[in-house]
Amino acid sequence: MILVDEALTPDSSRFWVKGSFETGGEPVSFDKQYVRDYLEATGWNKQPPAPRLPEEVIANTSRRYAEIFEKITGKAIVI
């Protein structure tokens, strides 16, 4: 077996904080769901062109990805 392409990235995997799930709720996550949730809230009809992401959404997404990198590897990443 060969493992290829994005198996442990927030773009293709789900990373949740252990113990953060409650029935009927959403666990604390480190995946792209944050961006999806933002886009859903804009009312975007999912047709091109996509709305431009605000700097805050970009920065928060980068921070989440850096945090999951650190949790997985134990190493800090500079963004």
Which residues, including other chains, have CB under 8 Å from residue 4's CB and lie 6 or more apart? none
Amino acid identity of residue 2, one-letter, is I
Instruction: Give the model's pLDDT for residue 24.
Output: 85
The CA-atom distances, in angstroms, between 8 and each of 24, 26, 31, 48, 62 are 26, 21, 11, 28, 16
CB 79 within 8 A of CB 66: yes
The per-residue pLDDT for 7 is 66
pLDDT score at 53: 96
Estimate to the nearest angstrom the gap between the alpha carbon of 13 and the chain centroid.
9
Instruction: From first to last of the 79 residues of the chain, give the pLDDT tens digit.
Output: 666 666 666 666 677 788 888 888 888 887 788 899 999 999 999 999 999 999 999 999 999 889 888 988 899 987 7
Strand partners, 16: 29
